[in-house]
């Protein structure tokens, strides 16, 4: 009896092992390899970059993603190009429109017009270094995208450009040393979140803009960021936005400001000190419905005149 039970147990174990081997060998779990510039990832699955790619001279994207549910692991490798031609749709990694479930992580993109382009798709970028793009480090449009734990630097214009986008989360990144804006929110982008980032030394090359700029869009939140030594710190030029609990120090010009087009918006619980021109500024002399509350600062302007400093006037 004991021998019979032992044989049955052995048989079941062998069947289980065979099933596991077959599952591991299933095409659904196969790892796909990226080896050349211009490769099109047009089937769902997991892809790994096998080697560095230098795509200079191709005037094309490094990798194109045209399928949903693609996971691209750069495995510590670099996709690079010295090409800059604004007549071309050219990105180091270009995610085409209408896709979802795309994930990009674990490597470096250097150069191209834009480092990573997320075009009207739902994607996540994690653990990437994106540097020296001709225009945008990362260009995002569409709903519910996420960029986290990445470094975006030395872009010819903006580090991260959010345009015609909603529900974007820019969190836990280092976005520094970009020529114009660290994070640019524009083109009717509503309900986006810029939180817990290091955003330093942006706008110095262009002598304008700086850390974060909301040019067009509402219900956007800029919160809990370290925004230091930019040309301007945070600027709000569209109504209905909130700037909360940021540290904004050492700007070449202004720490936080709201233009007349940005009213009404809310600025509260920020620490804004040591900015060369003024710490906090409202373009309207009466703050025009803007809420400034519980901020730590020294200098302020409402319209063209001092608002009296902390606890005086409409800027507080």
- What confidence score (pLDDT) does residue 95 get? 98
pLDDT digits (tens, 9 = 90+) for 265-280: 999 999 999 999 999 9
pLDDT digits (tens, 9 = 90+) for 134-165: 999 999 999 999 999 999 999 999 999 999 99
**How distant is the alpha carbon of residue 152 from its chain centre?**
8
CB atoms within 10 A of CB 289: 11
- What confidence score (pLDDT) does residue 30 get? 83
Please determine, for residue 63, whether its predicted confidence score (pLDDT) is greater than 50: yes
Distance set, CA 54 to CA 36, 104, 235 (Å):
9, 19, 37
3-state class of 225 per DSSP?
A: coil
What band does 304 get if pLDDT is binned at 50, 70 and 90?
confident
Q: Which residues have a Cβ under 8 Å from the Cβ of 35 and sit 6 or more positions away?
A: 50, 51
Top pLDDT among 129 and 7 is at 129
Average pLDDT, the chain: 92
Please determine, for residue 10, whether its predicted confidence score (pLDDT) is greater than 70: no
What residue ranges define each of the domains in the chain, with the CATH number in brackets?
Answer: 28-127 (no CATH), 136-316 (2.160.20.10)
Instruction: Quote the CA–CA distance of 43 and 233 in Å, as a whole number.
Output: 42
Give the strand pairing for 291-293 and 146-148. unpaired
Please determine, for residue 11, whether its predicted confidence score (pLDDT) is greater than 90: no
CA neighbor of 40 nearest in space, from 95, 112, 108: 95
Instruction: Quote the CA–CA distance of 248 and 272 in Å, as a whole number.
Output: 5
Give the strand pairing for 305-306 and 300-302. antiparallel
237, with CB counted inside 10 A (0-12, 13-18, 19+), is: buried
Q: Do the Cβ atoms of 274 and 248 come closer than 8 Å?
A: no
- What confidence score (pLDDT) does residue 23 get? 40
pLDDT digits (tens, 9 = 90+) for 212-270: 999 999 999 999 999 999 999 999 999 999 999 999 999 999 999 999 999 999 999 99
Q: Which residues have a Cβ under 8 Å from the Cβ of 26 and sit 6 or more positions away?
A: none
Instruction: Quote the CA–CA distance of 316 and 314 in Å, as a whole number.
Output: 6
Top pLDDT among 257 and 3 is at 257
């Amino acid at each position: 009896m004991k021998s019979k039970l032992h044989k049955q147990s052995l048989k079941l174990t062998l069947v289980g092992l065979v099933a596991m081997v077959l599952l591991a060998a299933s095409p659904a779990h196969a790892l796909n390899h990226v080896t050349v510039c211009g490769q099109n990832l047009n089937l769902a699955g997991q892809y790994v970059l096998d080697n560095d790619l230098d795509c200079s001279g191709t005037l094309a994207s490094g990798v194109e993603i045209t399928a949903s549910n693609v996971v691209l692991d750069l495995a510590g490798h670099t996709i690079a190009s010295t090409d800059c031609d604004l007549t071309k749709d050219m990105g180091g990694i270009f995610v085409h429109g209408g896709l979802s479930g795309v994930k990009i992580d674990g490597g470096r993109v250097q150069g191209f017009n834009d480092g990573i382009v997320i075009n009207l798709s739902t994607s996540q970028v994690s653990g990437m270094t994106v540097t020296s793009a001709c225009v945008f480090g990362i260009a995002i449009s569409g709903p519910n995208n996420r960029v986290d734990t990445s470094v975006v630097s030395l872009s010819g214009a903006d580090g991260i450009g959010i345009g015609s986008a909603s529900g974007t989360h820019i969190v836990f990144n280092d976005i520094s040393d970009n020529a114009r804006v660290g994070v640019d929110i524009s083109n009717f982008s509503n309900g986006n979140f810029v939180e817990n980032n290091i955003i330093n030394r942006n706008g110095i090359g262009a002598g304008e803009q700086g850390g974060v700029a909301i040019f067009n869009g509402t219900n956007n939140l800029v919160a809990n960021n370290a925004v230091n030594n930019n040309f301007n710190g945070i600027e709000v030029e569209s109504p209905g936005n909130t700037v909360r609990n940021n540290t904004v120090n050492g700007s070449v010009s202004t720490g936080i400001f709201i233009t007349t087009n940005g009213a009404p918006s809310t600025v509260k619980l920020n620490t804004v000190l040591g900015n060369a021109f003024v710490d906090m500024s409202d373009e309207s002399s009466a703050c025009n419905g803007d809420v400034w509350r519980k901020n730590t600062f020294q200098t302020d302007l409402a319209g063209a005149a001092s608002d009296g400093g902390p606890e005086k006037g409409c800027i507080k």
